[in-house]
Amino acid sequence: MECKIVNLFNDHVGVIDLNPLIFSVERKLHLLHDVVKWQLAKRRTGTHKVKIISDVSGTTAKPHSQKRTGRARQGSLRSPQFRGGGVIFGPVVRSHAHSINKKVRKIALKVALSLKYLDNQLIIVDNFNIDITKTSEMCKYISNFKFSSFLIVDHYNDSLLRVTNNLSNVDLIKPVGLNVFDILNHECIMLTSGAVKFLEERLL
């Protein structure tokens, strides 16, 4: 599979051979759904909590006698039926993360890359090793590509990170951290030649 390589001016500068085992696999959309759910579940902090009966402060005395009062028997004023009492079956601090097979994660990443390639939303850039010192300069380069949002996959340096920090439609990620959620969350994926080589070694 041949794909053209462009520079930041969107000029054709070469050709790269993409591996079809990564960039042209079967569309298994259910795997994308599973992996995105897994990623979002890991992001949840799980710090929501309510007070159960043992957390509520108050007396431990029995409200009234068990018998001969004509009232329902009660054992504690901290019970949920009383005002200010504890909560039954409320949320507690826990982790929402669940496991998913590494093989599934790898296939889903291939499917996501393949979708971008088939939709012409995958761009191979020669490199980002140019002297960019201002955000306005980066905006001019990005405007050469007619997409609304960009995910740049590269072994970037601090200079590139600094000039893209204030761009809401541009995100940077290193090839080792490339994931399904970020790919689907951006319209255009920009890979450098080095990133393509790294991904082929990682996913094959």
Give residue-wise pLDDT tens across range 19-28: 999 999 999 9
The CATH number that applies at residue 8 is: 3.40.1370.10
Please compute the mean of the pLDDT values over residues 158-186 and round it to a whole number.
Answer: 94
Contact 145, 186 (CB under 8 A): no
Please compute the mean of the pLDDT values over residues 76-104 and round it to a whole number.
Answer: 95
Residue 181 structural domain: 2-43+99-203
Q: How high is the pLDDT of residue 204?
A: 87
Residue 201 reports pLDDT greater than 90: yes
pTM: 0.85
Q: Are residues 76 and 105 in the same domain?
A: no
The domain total for the chain is 2
Residue identified by tokens 């329902």 is 72
Residue identified by tokens 């020669």 is 126
Q: How confident is the model at residue 128 (pLDDT cuts 50, 70, 90)?
A: confident
Please compute the mean of the pLDDT values over residues 69-87 and round it to a whole number.
Answer: 95
Q: How confident is the model at residue 131 (pLDDT cuts 50, 70, 90)?
A: confident
Residue 153 reports pLDDT greater than 90: yes
Q: How high is the pLDDT of residue 114?
A: 96
Residue 75 reports pLDDT greater than 80: yes
Q: Are residues 85 and 115 in the same domain?
A: no
In the chain, which ranges are E strands? Answer: 2-6, 12-17, 122-125, 150-153, 170-173, 188-192
Q: Are residues 31 and 115 in the same domain?
A: yes
Residue identified by tokens 């949002």 is 149
